[in-house]
Amino acid sequence: MDKVTTPTQTAADILRRSGFKKSIQVISNGIDSKRFESHRRDAERVQKKYNLPNKKILLFVGRIDPEKHIDVVLRALPVVLKKMDVHLVVAGRGAESENLEKLAAELNLKENVTFTGYLPEEDLPGLYQASDCFVNAGTAELQCISMLEAMSTGLPVIAADAMALHELVEVGKNGFLFRPGDSEDLAQCILAVLSSKTAEAQMGKRSRELIAPHDIQKVMRSFETLYKEAMKHLVLNKKRRAIDKYFVLSIVFSFLLLVASLIINFYAGQYALKAASNPVTDIVLSNIPVFNVHLAFVYGPVLFWILVLGLCVSKPRRIPLVLKSVVLLMLVRSVFITLTHIG
């Protein structure tokens, strides 16, 4: 594994803090933006189907589980209702559905809250269109798909300042962040968004702009590019392994040739000792001074092999070439020794 993807930078940071060392690329899960662009007729149909009142609609879509903290939204509603008439729609089902319905009754909110239960996919775009603001009080979101869908529809968003939700919110521009678990803070955020039609429209427009990088077509292109890079890297690795395999075989073959050449050189030397040719008489050679070359014969080979070793260490990729060059030298020397001692 060379690289992993995460849907948000927050998720990537969590991986890093946990000790993950590999490369991480942030690519959104993505949504089909066109599906949520405009569904006015669907909005009217959904309003009738779920008997939604003609007033400001605050929407949550998702699993009804403890980590979603929908109770915080319910507890914020009485504060909001003191200043404006709103209706909360909780779309989805989960372990907390029954408890939340009981809480809504305890807070005298039965007329101000609609629990849709299971929501068919075909009702989802219309429900977003029928709403005025999306809210998410969850504290365990690595990326909230329903929030992406709401933004694509053009809704302002309000979210708990927890985990990755802040990555989708430009405070004051497309919505607000509130302190996790703080119903009073959430209530003030809801009032700030829904009290002004102009602010609501501007925030919705900004949500659409911010959602552009999350469009499924762009996401698919990002994954396509990533896969192409991965395949290219895989091919290069295979080529590199093939080259490395050839390189190892070349070193082994060169070493065997070197051993063979040293054996040949040894026997050539033995032949020269046993079958030396007659002394050569030459007017030129006879008048050349005789030098003591004992040191050259002793230290010359040592220096030669130090040079060979140095070349191998400094240029590892040239080891086969160096060894084969030594083999050629040994073979030439063997032939020369043999020819000069035939007698």
CA distances from 192 to 31, 60, 173 (A): 28, 18, 12
Residue 318's pLDDT band, with cuts at 50, 70 and 90, is confident
Rounded mean pLDDT, 179-185: 97
> Is the model more confident about 262 or about 5?
5
Percent of the chain with pLDDT over 90: 56
pLDDT for 285 beyond 70: no
> Is the model more confident about 177 or about 248?
177
- Which long-range contacts (C-beta less than 8 Å, at least 24 apart) are formed by 20-29? 25/226, 27/219, 27/222, 27/223, 27/226, 28/143, 28/148, 28/213, 28/214, 28/219, 29/143, 29/145, 29/148, 29/214, 29/219
Q: Which of 75-84, 254-263, 274-283 has the lowest mean pLDDT?
A: 274-283
Contacting residues for 123 by C-beta, under 8 A, at least 6 apart: 42, 46, 49
pLDDT for 219 beyond 80: yes
pLDDT for 218 beyond 70: yes
For residue 214, what are its two tokens?
Answer: 């999350």
- Contact assessment for residue 200 and residue 194, using Cβ atoms and an 8 Å cutoff: yes
Percent of the chain with pLDDT over 70: 87
Give the pLDDT confidence of 12-51 residue by residue, as tens digits.
999 999 998 888 999 999 899 888 876 677 888 999 999 9
Mean pLDDT of the residues in the chain = 86
For residue 7, what are its two tokens?
Answer: 């849907």
Q: Which of 72-86, 223-237, 239-253 has the lowest mean pLDDT?
A: 239-253
Rounded mean pLDDT, 192-197: 92
What's the predicted TM-score (pTM) here? 0.70
pLDDT value of position 189? 97
Rounded Cα distance between 82 and 295, Å, is: 108
> Is the model more confident about 289 or about 76?
76
